[in-house]
């Protein structure tokens, strides 16, 4: 019998409907929530009470007309209690952010990566998380989840980093090691999730739609908690191309992160653009990353124009594969070579014009260099707002086990 499981799933789905409505339209009353969601007023009242008790929602402020004839109490996403922590393990740095449920950056901290071994990385990440947690506590905030992202393919059923060539990792069981490290520094029992960096970054863009984030002038100090952000539903399909030391893409498709059967989806840095081309970090030749990874562009005498032409080809290929509404560019190669991203954008537009099709919206990352870390923070929120059937993950894990057996 799966009745209990189904009931719990139904409840989670109903809660997520209310949260998503309030993200898109802050200030709705219970009566308006019932009208917009199609749920009964008593169900809405019950769920809203739970969500307030669990610090997801707050109520109060000026009474609003509910459009149904009575003044009533407005409800909002509570940005004053829960904070989402996100960490990007990059090839040369570790970035940590804490954001509110609406995507406002409350805290940010960046350090050079001191020891690239899995154990060394876990220890450094845990130290930074403990410092952030102490700072948040002073502001009355508590960490409700930690998302971590890495520059490599992650199996999201098992938390194993299958392949991260720029870190020199293969089949590293990182998630359990991170959970242990967080518990050791006083963050036990917090939900921890692991994902690829570009996959995380696309979620930051998708979940925190209209965020014009404000970072405290002095890093490591909590930003003022006034919330002027609005969130809502994003563009779908949406692709984030992270062009850093490694090159990868994150894809949101049909309102969910699309990672493929084994977490490899979007590993576009290792699509081959030229047979027998330059050597890549993965050991093969002619991969995209070997033409325009940030280290290639930094080399003396690097031909940025040619690199941009290859980058444009890659973006065009992505465009015709997914027909996205928007492509967002991030990473060091785009941040430090503005002309490079622009030339690639123009190439996509020319291609679209030539095909008589409207080009997708093209822009750079809203959170700049913090995009993967903010996206890692959004991992738990993304999952919470889109409940999966409890056995769906188990099914995927079994399918994976069959595939590798
Ligand atoms: Zn490669």
pLDDT in tens, 16-73: 999 999 998 899 999 999 999 999 999 999 999 999 999 999 998 766 655 656 678 9
DSSP three-state, residue 73: coil
Compute the Cα dihedral for 54, 57, 63, 65 and give only its sign.
negative
* Rounded mean pLDDT, 390-401: 55
The per-residue pLDDT for 147 is 98
Q: Do residues 104 and 163 make contact, with C-beta atoms less than 8 angstroms apart?
A: no
Nearest to 13 by CA among 378, 325, 392: 392
Q: What separation in Å is there between the alpha carbon of 267 and the centre of ligand 1?
A: 9
pLDDT in tens, 266-323: 999 999 999 999 999 889 999 999 999 999 999 988 899 999 999 999 999 999 999 9
Q: What separation in Å is there between the alpha carbon of 288 and the centre of ligand 1?
A: 7
* Rounded mean pLDDT, 207-236: 46
* Rounded mean pLDDT, 326-346: 91
Tell me which residue has tokens 């996509």.
Answer: 348
Whole-model pTM over 0.75: yes
Q: What separation in Å is there between the alpha carbon of 72 and the centre of ligand 1?
A: 58
CATH code: domain 4-77 is: 1.10.10.10
> Residue 402 pLDDT more than 60?
no
Residues bordering ligand 1, an ion, CB closer than 5 Å = 270, 280, 282, 287
The topology under which CATH files domain 79-405 is Nucleotidyltransferase; domain 5 (3.30.420)
Backbone angles phi, psi at 382, to 5 degrees: -60, -45
Query: Could you check whether 4-77 and 79-405 share the same CATH topology?
Result: no
Domain locations along the chain:
4-77, 79-405
* Rounded mean pLDDT, 377-404: 70
Q: Do residues 403 and 261 make contact, with C-beta atoms less than 8 angstroms apart?
A: yes
Q: What separation in Å is there between the alpha carbon of 166 and the centre of ligand 1?
A: 10
* Rounded mean pLDDT, 389-402: 55
Q: Could you tell me which residues are beta bridge partners of residue 290?
A: none
Task: Classify strands 256-258 and 191-196 as parallel, antiparallel or unpaired.
Answer: unpaired
> Residue 225 pLDDT more than 70?
no
pLDDT in tens, 113-154: 999 999 999 999 999 999 999 999 999 999 999 999 999 999
Q: What separation in Å is there between the alpha carbon of 284 and the centre of ligand 1?
A: 5
The per-residue pLDDT for 394 is 57
Q: How confident is the model at residue 392 (pLDDT cuts 50, 70, 90)?
A: low
Q: How confident is the model at residue 228 (pLDDT cuts 50, 70, 90)?
A: very low
Instruction: Please tell me which residue, 210 or 281, carries the higher pLDDT value.
Output: 281
């Amino acid at each position: 019998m799966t009745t209990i499981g189904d009931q719990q799933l139904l409840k989670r789905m109903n809660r997520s409907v209310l949260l998503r409505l309030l993200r898109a339209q802050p200030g709705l009353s219970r009566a308006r929530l019932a009208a917009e969601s199609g749920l009964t007023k008593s169900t809405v009242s019950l769920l809203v009470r739970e969500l307030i008790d669990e610090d997801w929602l707050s109520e109060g402020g000026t009474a609003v007309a509910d459009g149904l004839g009575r003044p009533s109490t407005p409800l909002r996403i509570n940005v004053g209690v829960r904070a989402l922590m996100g960490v990007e393990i990059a090839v040369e740095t570790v970035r940590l952010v804490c954001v509110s449920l609406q995507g406002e950056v409350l805290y940010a901290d960046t350090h050079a990566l001191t020891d690239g071994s899995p154990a060394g990385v876990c220890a450094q990440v845990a130290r930074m998380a403990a410092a952030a947690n102490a700072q948040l506590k002073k502001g009355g905030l508590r960490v409700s989840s930690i998302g971590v992202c890495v520059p490599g393919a992650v199996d999201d059923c098992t938390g194993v980093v299958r392949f991260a060539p720029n870190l020199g990792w293969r089949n590293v069981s990182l998630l359990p090691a991170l959970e242990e490290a967080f518990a050791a520094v006083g963050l036990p029992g917090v939900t921890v999730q692991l994902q690829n960096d570009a996959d995380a970054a696309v979620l930051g863009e998708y979940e925190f739609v209209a965020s014009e984030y404000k970072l405290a002038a002095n890093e490591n100090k909590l930003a003022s908690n006034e919330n002027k952000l609005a969130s809502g539903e994003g563009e779908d399909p949406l692709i984030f191309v992270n062009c850093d030391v490694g090159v990868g893409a994150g894809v949101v498709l049909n309102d969910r992160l699309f990672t493929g059967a084994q977490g490899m989806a979007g590993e576009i840095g290792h699509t081959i653009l030229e047979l027998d081309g330059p050597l890549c970090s993965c050991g093969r030749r002619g991969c995209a990353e070997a033409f325009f990874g940030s280290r290639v562009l930094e080399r003396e005498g690097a031909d940025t124009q040619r690199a941009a032409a290859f980058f444009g080809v890659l973006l065009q290929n992505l465009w015709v594969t997914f027909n996205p509404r928007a492509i967002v560019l991030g990473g060091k190669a785009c941040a430090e070579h503005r002309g490079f991203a622009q030339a690639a954008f123009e190439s996509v537009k020319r291609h679209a014009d030539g095909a008589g099709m409207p080009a997708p919206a093209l822009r750079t990352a809203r959170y700049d260099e913090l995009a993967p870390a903010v996206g890692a923070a959004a991992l738990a929120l993304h999952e919470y707002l889109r409940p999966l059937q409890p056995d769906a993950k188990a099914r995927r894990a079994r399918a994976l086990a069959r595939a590798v057996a």
